[in-house]
Structure 1
Amino acid sequence: MLRFRVFENGKPASSVCLDGAYLVGSDGVPLVAQLSFGDGEIRCVKRAAGPAGLNVLWPVEGFGRLMLETARLQERDAPYNLHVELARGRLMRISQKREDWGLYDYADGADLYRRVDEAKALLVEAITAPTEAAAAAKADASLRISTAVGEELCLFHADLFLQRRRATGGFVKRPFGVGVLPNRGDDAYRERLKPAFDFAVLPTLWREIESRPGSPRWDPLDLWVNWLGQHRVHVRGSPLISLDRLSLPDWVVGDQVNYDDLREALLTHAAQLVRRFSHRVQSWEVVHGIHANNSLHLSLDQLMDLTRMASLVVKQHAPRATAIVGVVVPWGEYYARDVRTIPPLLYADMCVQSGFHFDAFGLQFVFGAPQEGMLVRDMLQISSMLDRFANFNKPLHVSAAAVPSSVIPGRGGDSPVAGGGVWHAEWSEEVQARWLERLLAIAFSKPFVETVSWRDLVDHSGRIPPTSGLLRADLTPKPAFERLLEIRRNLIGDRTSQRSRA
């Protein structure tokens, strides 16, 4: 068992929010464990032996409320001080990234380095403090500094490499994308795409296309694909295969699912979809999150078989199209509660080692909702995750990014602090714009990231979070939309000039 003492105002805490909390092992894989709180302590009972770290949604004064991870710790009889271990864990990760990025001797980084040293000194004071309450106070002070400076170091590194990439023209021709709604065909909606986006992510849900077996409905997709082609906006179809319950037709889902029958039906659907749009869709997300959303409880071998099959369908029927393997919830929190899924990094490694014919990975970063996998993480964590996937030597696409532009209450209408987390300030249109700006800087500073797609063009009540669009429901632009246009002009020019050169 791992135990963590928690303090509030110098006294043992009376309550701690454990929504979304989980343990992670030394290999980075979430662990099955039972977490509880009582008598000022978090108790973590895990099945697996070996060291583990606790991930918890944690308030940091002046920064927000975000997922943070302790150092990896061995089980022992005495409880750990959670405040100290969170501060230690943050500084360890900063040290790792400074080494990876070589951020030690840049003159412009001197103030950042000084603040890292200040956070380290406070951690030493916490470790040597005479009481645990005093240690918690010093550790909190260390964490306040290290959380802020960790993100600033990440942005400092991004700015250096973004300038280099821009100077060398290292961007692909069409790096900016956005998700659209197939049932929105009005001109006002479509026209908003043209000035900002190089491609549209068009949902191709099996459930919407073939609600009755053998009777596919193509009209909404045909209309969209034709319009996009006429206006020189490329198309990404997503997903070809998804096992999310909301993506599957009712006639597929039953008490007993025969895998061979399911595979045949999926193959037929995927093949006819790719064939129909083979000359008009430039990229496909061949699978979307099947490692995490396995509603049919398929085996690992079956999930990998579907990944291989979907990739082959694209390469056979649209060989010039880009085949993207979509990864959702890249930190893998879901695996701690459902071992019938596959941890994301393990899944990616298996795809590469198995020799599947696909071109890239797509990563999803959606935060700000009180839901598993959507609890707030900061830019240092996002940047580090992109770097981890770069180790597979495949290009990366940020296939869906989204945060809300207004507060999303927690369960039962609680305050936003108890919801999906806070990044710098309560969610607002300006905070959303600032988050988008920093994400784009970090993603495009990395030469292995080819495109970034914002998940929603317009706010939609059926989405989580519902206010994650770049446009309000009345199609007026939010600050994030204007910020994206500005960033686009600075990086690659505007769409009008690109079309005139084409």
Structure 2
Amino acid sequence: MIRFLTQARGPNGDKFDLNGAYLVGSDGVPIRAEIEWADGEIRCNKRVAGPAALSVLWNVPPFGSIMLETTRVVDRDRPYVLPVELARGRLMRISQKREDWGLFDYPGADELYARVDEAKSQFVASMTAAGETAADEKGCEAVRAAVEVGEALSLFHAGIFLERRRAAKQFSPRPMGCGVTLRQADEAYRERLARAFDFVALPTSWGVLEPRQGSNAWDLVDPWIAWAAKSKLALRAAPLISFHKSHIPDWLHLYEQDFETVRDLVGAHVRRTVQRLRTYVWAWDVVSGLHAYNPFNYSHEQLVDLTRMCTLLVKQIAPRSTTIVDIVAPWGEYYARNPRTVPPLLFADMLAVAGINFDAFGLQFYFGVPVDGMFVRDMMQISAMIDRFANFGKPLHITAVQVPSGSTPDPTDYWRGAHAPAAAGQWHAKWSEPVQAEWLERFLEIVLSKPFVETVTWRDLADTDGHYLPHGGLLRRDLAPKAAYDQLLVLRNQWLPGRDATRPRK
């Protein structure tokens, strides 16, 4: 058993909030365990042998409340002091990324280096403190210092490479996209979409296009295809195949125990959709989240087989288009709860070993709902995760990203107001329109600084009925722009010279 002491408590003040907590084993892979609060401590009973790290939602005032991870520790009788181990974990990752990014003696970073040294000194003070209470207090100070300087280092590194990429004009021809609501035909909605973005992420999930078996709903996508062509916006189909409950048709459950039949039906849907839309679509999210959403409990081999078949079909029918395999919930928290899933990096490696032919990986980042995969992370964690997927040698597309602009439940979102964003953490301050705008700017600095990232797609343009994250749109429900939308226009003009986003396309 691994045990942790902490003076921190949850909202009720009687116990630590373990919502979203999980253990991590070697190579960053989550492991199954029972984690509970008992007798004033966190107790972790692993189902596998070996050291493990604890990942928890941790309050770091005034920075925010984010998921943080200890280093991997071994079982022992004496409990660890949680904030001390969280500080150790963050400082270790800072050292790793400084080496990866070449930031040990980079000119102009002396102040940041001094802040790293100060965080290390505070960590040493926590290690040598007299008593667990003093160690906890000193550890919290070290965590705050390490988190703040870690994100600052990430943004410093991003600023260097973003400027290089901008000066060399190395951005892709269409770097910014946005998802849409198919039934939204308001002219203001479409005008603001065309003003700020280069392409539309067109919903083409199986459940949308074939809600009844044998009956296709092309009338939902055809108006968008015509409008996009008129507005000179490219189209990305997203996704073709996903087993998320919102993406599969209800009738498919009739066949869920018959893999061969489902495989044939999947192939028929992909073939039919690509043949109809290939003239208009430049990129396809061929499969999305098969590693995480596996309601039919298919084996790893069957998931790889479906991926191979789908990518091959798209390559055969639309050989000049871009094929993308989407990775959702890239930290893989879900794997600690569901053994029939596959950790994200392992799934990517399985595809590489199997020799499956596709053009790029897609990554999705959602923060602001207290469910696995959506607890808040900071910019250093995001940057480091993107770097890990770069090791596969394929371009990356951020196929969906979204954070809230409010902290209260949103009755019109996908979750129907069941979740308050505040319960999933916060970044720098409570979620608000100004915080959403600042987060978007920092996120774009991080991702667009990386030469292997080709596009970024915001999930929902507006807070119209059914949008995914609470308050997650760039426009309010009445289609008035939020601060993040206005900030995006400013950033486009700064970073993408010659691509005027201040006037609608003709």
How high is the TM-score relative to the length of structure 1? Answer: 0.96
Question: Aligned partners of 1:494 and 1:220: how far apart in 2?
Answer: 33
- Judged with a 3 Å threshold, the aligned counterparts in structure 2 of structure 1 residues 253 and 500 are, in CA distance, closer, same or farther, namely closer
For 1:128, the equivalent position in structure 2 comes to 128
Q: Does 1:252 align with 2:252?
A: yes
For 2:461, the equivalent position in structure 1 comes to 457
- Residue 194 of structure 1 deviates from its aligned partner by 1.3
For 1:232, the equivalent position in structure 2 comes to 232
- Per-residue CA distance 1:35-71 (angstroms, 9 max, x = gap): 0001111000011111110000010111111100001
Bigger shift: residues 64-73 or 200-209:
200-209
For 2:53, the equivalent position in structure 1 comes to 53
For 1:380, the equivalent position in structure 2 comes to 380
For 2:433, the equivalent position in structure 1 comes to 429
- Residue 408 of structure 1 deviates from its aligned partner by 3.4
Q: Is the partner of 2:56 in helix, strand or coil?
A: strand
Question: Aligned partners of 1:141 and 1:369: how far apart in 2?
Answer: 27
Q: Is the partner of 2:254 in helix, strand or coil?
A: coil
Q: Show the 5 A alignment for 1:397-416.
A: 397-408=397-408
Q: Is the partner of 1:35 in helix, strand or coil?
A: strand
- Per-residue CA distance 1:189-219 (angstroms, 9 max, x = gap): 2111111111010111211211221111201
Question: Aligned partners of 2:503 and 2:117: how far apart in 1?
Answer: 50
- Per-residue CA distance 1:130-154 (angstroms, 9 max, x = gap): 1011011111111111111110100
8 Å contact from structure 1 (residues 5, 81) kept in 2: yes
Q: Show the 5 A alignment for 1:242-281.
A: 242-254=242-254, 257-281=257-281
Question: Aligned partners of 1:415 and 1:463: how far apart in 2?
Answer: 14
- Per-residue CA distance 1:61-89 (angstroms, 9 max, x = gap): 11111100001111111111111000100
Percentage of identical aligned residues: 54
- Judged with a 3 Å threshold, the aligned counterparts in structure 2 of structure 1 residues 232 and 73 are, in CA distance, closer, same or farther, namely same
8 Å contact from structure 2 (residues 22, 56) kept in 1: yes
Question: Aligned partners of 1:379 and 1:466: how far apart in 2?
Answer: 21
For 2:496, the equivalent position in structure 1 comes to 492
What letter corresponds to residue 455 of structure 2 in structure 1?
T
Aligned residues: 499
Q: Is the partner of 1:66 in helix, strand or coil?
A: strand
8 Å contact from structure 1 (residues 57, 68) kept in 2: yes
Question: Aligned partners of 1:339 and 1:170: how far apart in 2?
Answer: 41
8 Å contact from structure 1 (residues 195, 494) kept in 2: no
For 2:442, the equivalent position in structure 1 comes to 438
- Residue 461 of structure 1 deviates from its aligned partner by 4.2
- Per-residue CA distance 1:380-410 (angstroms, 9 max, x = gap): 0000000000000000011111000000359
Q: Is the partner of 1:171 in helix, strand or coil?
A: coil
Bigger shift: residues 416-425 or 47-56:
416-425
How high is the TM-score relative to the length of structure 2? Answer: 0.95
For 1:470, the equivalent position in structure 2 comes to 474
Q: Is the partner of 2:251 in helix, strand or coil?
A: coil
8 Å contact from structure 1 (residues 197, 495) kept in 2: no
- Residue 125 of structure 1 deviates from its aligned partner by 0.9
- Residue 254 of structure 1 deviates from its aligned partner by 3.3
Structure 1, unmatched stretches of 5+, are: none
8 Å contact from structure 1 (residues 362, 399) kept in 2: yes
- Judged with a 3 Å threshold, the aligned counterparts in structure 2 of structure 1 residues 256 and 166 are, in CA distance, closer, same or farther, namely closer
Q: Is the partner of 1:107 in helix, strand or coil?
A: coil
- Residue 496 of structure 1 deviates from its aligned partner by 4.7
- Residue 231 of structure 1 deviates from its aligned partner by 1.4
8 Å contact from structure 1 (residues 195, 495) kept in 2: no
- Residue 313 of structure 1 deviates from its aligned partner by 1.4
- Judged with a 3 Å threshold, the aligned counterparts in structure 2 of structure 1 residues 306 and 8 are, in CA distance, closer, same or farther, namely closer
8 Å contact from structure 2 (residues 407, 421) kept in 1: no
8 Å contact from structure 1 (residues 196, 495) kept in 2: no
Q: Is the partner of 1:108 in helix, strand or coil?
A: coil
- Judged with a 3 Å threshold, the aligned counterparts in structure 2 of structure 1 residues 105 and 477 are, in CA distance, closer, same or farther, namely same
Bigger shift: residues 227-236 or 332-341:
227-236
8 Å contact from structure 1 (residues 65, 417) kept in 2: no
What letter corresponds to residue 16 of structure 1 in structure 2?
F
What letter corresponds to residue 124 of structure 2 in structure 1?
V
Question: Aligned partners of 1:62 and 1:195: how far apart in 2?
Answer: 36
Q: Is the partner of 1:67 in helix, strand or coil?
A: strand
Please tell me the root mean square deviation across aligned C-alpha atoms, in Å: 2.2
Question: Aligned partners of 2:98 and 2:30: how far apart in 1?
Answer: 25
8 Å contact from structure 2 (residues 235, 280) kept in 1: yes
- Per-residue CA distance 1:354-379 (angstroms, 9 max, x = gap): 11111000000110112221100000
Question: Aligned partners of 1:42 and 1:254: how far apart in 2?
Answer: 43
- Residue 497 of structure 1 deviates from its aligned partner by 8.2
Bigger shift: residues 281-290 or 252-261:
252-261
Q: Show the 5 A alignment for 1:144-163.
A: 144-163=144-163
Q: Is the partner of 2:246 in helix, strand or coil?
A: helix
Q: Show the 5 A alignment for 1:47-446.
A: 47-254=47-254, 257-408=257-408, 419-446=423-450
Bigger shift: residues 473-482 or 462-471:
462-471
- Judged with a 3 Å threshold, the aligned counterparts in structure 2 of structure 1 residues 389 and 112 are, in CA distance, closer, same or farther, namely same
Question: Aligned partners of 1:73 and 1:320: how far apart in 2?
Answer: 49
8 Å contact from structure 1 (residues 70, 87) kept in 2: yes
Bigger shift: residues 99-108 or 137-146:
99-108
- Per-residue CA distance 1:261-311 (angstroms, 9 max, x = gap): 101111101100000011100100001111101111111111111111111
Question: Aligned partners of 1:375 and 1:268: how far apart in 2?
Answer: 36
Question: Aligned partners of 1:266 and 1:353: how far apart in 2?
Answer: 23
- Judged with a 3 Å threshold, the aligned counterparts in structure 2 of structure 1 residues 215 and 417 are, in CA distance, closer, same or farther, namely closer
Question: Aligned partners of 1:496 and 1:127: how far apart in 2?
Answer: 54
- Judged with a 3 Å threshold, the aligned counterparts in structure 2 of structure 1 residues 424 and 277 are, in CA distance, closer, same or farther, namely same
8 Å contact from structure 2 (residues 437, 487) kept in 1: yes
8 Å contact from structure 2 (residues 286, 323) kept in 1: yes
Structure 2, unmatched stretches of 5+, are: none
For 1:36, the equivalent position in structure 2 comes to 36
- Residue 463 of structure 1 deviates from its aligned partner by 3.3
Q: Is the partner of 1:72 in helix, strand or coil?
A: coil
Question: Aligned partners of 2:300 and 2:223: how far apart in 1?
Answer: 37
What letter corresponds to residue 439 of structure 1 in structure 2?
F
Question: Aligned partners of 1:6 and 1:496: how far apart in 2?
Answer: 52
- Residue 495 of structure 1 deviates from its aligned partner by 4.2
Bigger shift: residues 458-467 or 326-335:
458-467
Question: Aligned partners of 1:240 and 1:113: how far apart in 2?
Answer: 46
Q: Is the partner of 2:150 in helix, strand or coil?
A: helix
Question: Aligned partners of 2:310 and 2:390: how far apart in 1?
Answer: 22
- Residue 256 of structure 1 deviates from its aligned partner by 5.0
- Residue 416 of structure 1 deviates from its aligned partner by 6.2
Q: Is the partner of 1:340 in helix, strand or coil?
A: coil
- Per-residue CA distance 1:228-283 (angstroms, 9 max, x = gap): 01211000001110111221111111385200110111110110000001110010
8 Å contact from structure 1 (residues 162, 441) kept in 2: yes
What letter corresponds to residue 453 of structure 2 in structure 1?
V
- Per-residue CA distance 1:139-194 (angstroms, 9 max, x = gap): 11111111111101000000000111111111111000000111112322211111
- Per-residue CA distance 1:73-111 (angstroms, 9 max, x = gap): 111111111110001001011111011101122232111
